[in-house]
Amino acid sequence: MVLADLGRKITSALRSLSNATIINEEVLNAMLKEVCAALLEADVNIKLVKQLRENVKSAIDLEEMASGLNKRRMIQHAVFKELVKLVDPGVKAWTPTKGKNNVIMFVGLQGSGKTTTCSKLAYYYQRKGWKTCLICADTFRAGAFDQLKQNATKARIPFYGSYTEMDPVVIAAEGVEKFKAENFEIIIVDTSGRHKQEDSLFEEMLQVSNAVQPDNIVYVMDASIGQACESQAKAFKDKVDVASVIVTKLDGHAKGGGALSAVAATRSPIIFIGTGEHIDDFEPFKTQPFISKLLGMGDIEGLIDRVNELKLDDNEELIDKLKHGQFTLRDMYEQFQNIMKMGPFGQIMGMIPGFGTDFMSKGNEQESMARLKKLMTIMDSMNDQELDSKDGAKLFSKQPNRIQRVARGSGVATRDVQELLTQYTKFAQMVKKMGGIKGLFKGGDMSKNVNPSQMAKLNQQMAKMMDPRVLHHMGGMAGLQSMMRQFQQGAAGNMKGMMGFNNM
């Protein structure tokens, strides 16, 4: 059972509360039984599962609850809180300091995905504007330097290593000295792994650590071993000063939940998780947003961070158009480009309430990405007049031969072009309504600027445009309104950047 399945099963158990006419001890016990069974299936330690059940039971006293209280909401909140505690080590993770040399040393067993994860971390910080580099001090595994070199070259990350020097301590020390002199901010050192916890591995790690004096030692953990992660993490912590953990291979293994809870039990903060083979299948691990996404409740904070990374603040022309309720086909094309830049489609959709684990499978993700590219290909065959027209759909309806020309040029059927124009018309209508709402483009907290009744009308319009399945997963209109409130407050001061995504 991969993490997506775990999320589905827990969500299903929590939904059973909504179906029950009366919330009593029997309903509570049945729901907890389902949640605990799902956690045990994900290889979470039985003691931790038992503790979770006891904590929820002690927090919820149905007999003592006042009749006016929302029992369903309180039970769901208690379960959510305990799930967060399950993966929270209670220790603050180390964070790098901008503008100085931050040396990060990677350790772990062979096969855990250590070298790939080094590249992912370097790429993550590079995207955020840090000056990053990689050093290969793994002289034990044949092909380790070639792998790191290939990953670094592909991502355009500077690297250091040697085909002739066999002493990892020398390579690590030389590499760190070189990159410190060149004022690199994130200096990542990849060390040798072994098939098991050999004394020679720990000895080598200590020597490299003494030579480079890392600011942070990261232990890379393979999620497929489940709750066995606890003993491994403890073994490494006893030998070297492990400050952080990155858990890999969470996308396809049954024991991911067990791995996360086991590492948390060692009081080692998990800083990132690997969710796939690609370099951007990598995300920061924050306990509350993680559980929220797992249960299909989204991660608005993470979504806003992604949008702000795109640096859309300077798009004054688009903001001015939106103020006047204008939205062209070219504007829509540019918003598609922004979505593509934000990273793996599944990650982004998982941040939006309603598009949780049970809605966006790998197949759906690939299908959605292919559809987005297809729409962009169709627009590539349009001319400037069509792309920049204030009412592109009307231009095509008046001159149907334009649809045939675009279809031929992009290699699609005419109905595909018509579907695109229908989608564009919906967006344009939404923008027109948004343009009529005073205060929406002021900046700051939208909830204070915008008339509540106008915002309610906008939400209703959005609900009509949405797939009914999505609206259902979000919890209907109430869920949509809650999400919009989070956007309004989270985007305070960043309205210009947010608009690049909000119109999608």
Q: Is the same domain home to 82 and 127? A: no
Whether 347 is in a domain gets the answer: yes
Do 231 and 344 share a domain, yes or no? no
Euclidean distance between CA atoms 101 and 424, whole angstroms: 48
Answer whether 28's CB lies under 8 Å from 278's CB.
no
Beta-strand pair 132-137/282-284: unpaired
On whether the CB atoms of residues 163 and 145 are closer than 8 A, the answer is yes
- My answer on whether 307 and 453 are in the same domain is yes
Who has greater pLDDT, 359 or 268? 268
* 415 pLDDT higher than 50: yes
Residue 119 lies in a domain: yes
CATH for 20: 1.20.120.140
Nearest to 298 by CA among 49, 150, 495, 486: 486
Distances (CA, A) of 366 to 11, 282, 314, 371, 379: 24, 17, 31, 9, 20
Q: Is the pLDDT of residue 123 over 70?
A: yes
Q: Are strands 270-274 and 282-284 parallel, antiparallel or unpaired?
A: antiparallel
Q: Half-sphere exposure of 78 toward its Cβ, with a 13 Å CA cutoff?
A: 22
Boundary (domain end) residue, out of 20, 52, 87: 87
Is 96 domain-assigned?
no
CATH code where residue 373 lies: 1.10.260.30
pLDDT classification of 490: cutoffs 50, 70, 90 = very low
95: in domain: no
Per-residue pLDDT, 441 = 46
pLDDT surpasses 90 at 316: no
Average pLDDT of the segment spanning 356-376: 65
**For 157-184, what is each residue's pLDDT tens digit?**
999 999 999 999 999 999 999 999 999 9
Angle of CA points 15, 17, 18, to nearest 5°: 70
Domain match, 176 and 64 both: no
Tokens representing residue 234 in the block? 């403890």
| Whether the predicted pLDDT of 433 surpasses 80 | no
pLDDT at 358: 47
Q: Do residues 345 and 406 both lie within one domain?
A: yes
Containing structural domain, residue 57 = 3-87
At 127-148, the pLDDT tens digits run 889 999 999 999 888 888 999 9
pLDDT band at 384 (very low <50, low <70, confident <90, very high): very high
Alpha-carbon gap, residue 184 to 162, rounded angstroms? 20
Note whether residue 258 is domain-resident: yes
- What type of residue is 42? A
**For the residues 409-416, what does the mean pLDDT come to?**
93
pLDDT over 60 at 423, yes or no: yes
pLDDT at 463: 58
Tally the C-alpha atoms within 13 A of residue 376's C-alpha that lie toward its C-beta.
14
Residues 16-51: b if buried by 16+ CB within 10 A, e if exposed: ebeeeeebeeebbeebbebbbebbbbbbbbeebbee
Question: 45: pLDDT confidence band, cut at 50, 70 and 90?
Answer: confident
Encoded amino acid at 78, one letter: A
Query: Does residue 311 sit in the same domain as residue 168?
Result: no
Residue 225, Cβ neighbours under 10 Å: how many?
20
State the Cα–Cα distance between residues 446 and 489, nearest whole angstrom: 7
Q: Which of 7-11, 227-231, 494-498 has the lowest mean pLDDT?
A: 494-498
Mean of the per-residue pLDDT values for the chain? 78
Q: In what order do the strands lie in the sheet with 102-107?
A: 159-160, 132-137, 186-191, 102-107, 216-222, 244-248, 270-274, 282-284
306: Cβ contacts below 8 Å, ≥ 6 apart: 342, 343, 348, 351
What pLDDT does 440 receive? 47
Q: Read off the pLDDT band of 119 (50, 70, 90).
A: very high
pLDDT (tens digit, 9 = 90+) per residue, 184-237?
A: 999 999 998 866 667 777 888 889 999 999 999 999 988 888 887 888 777 777
Q: How many domains does the chain have?
A: 3
Q: What pLDDT sits at residue 498? A: 34
Structural domain contains residue 394: yes
Task: Please name which of 178, 179, 173, 177 lies closest in space to residue 191, comparing C-alpha atoms.
Answer: 173
Q: Which of 261, 294, 327 is the last residue of a domain?
A: 294
- Does residue 500 carry a pLDDT above 50? no
Span 218-230, pLDDT tens digits: 999 888 888 878 8
DSSP state of 281: -
Domain match, 27 and 155 both:
no
Confidence of residue 67 (pLDDT cuts 50, 70, 90): low
**Structure confidence at residue 502 as a pLDDT band (50, 70, 90):** very low
Query: What type of residue sits at position 24?
Result: N
pLDDT bucket at 344, cuts 50 / 70 / 90 = low
Cα separation of 46 and 40, whole Å? 7
175: domain CATH number is 3.40.50.300
- pLDDT top residue among 58 and 321: 58
Higher model confidence: residue 331 or residue 477? 331
Residue 94 lies inside a defined structural domain of this protein: no
305 and 286 share one domain: no
pLDDT of residue 75: 86
Q: How far apart are CA 199 and CA 196, in angstroms?
A: 9
Domain assignment present for 439: yes
Task: Give the residue-averaged pLDDT of 272-289.
Answer: 86
| Separation between Cα atoms, residue 6 and residue 256, nearest integer Å | 9
Q: Do 177 and 304 fall within a single domain?
A: no
Instruction: Show which of 262, 294, 326 is a domain's final residue.
Output: 294
SS3 assignment for 143-184: CHHHHHHHHHHHHCCCEECCCCCCCHHHHHHHHHHHHHHCCC
Do residues 191 and 221 both lie within one domain? yes
Are residue 259 and residue 391 in the same domain, yes or no?
no
Q: Do residue 348 and residue 367 come from a single domain? A: yes
Per the CB < 8 A criterion, the answer to whether 299 and 350 are in contact is yes
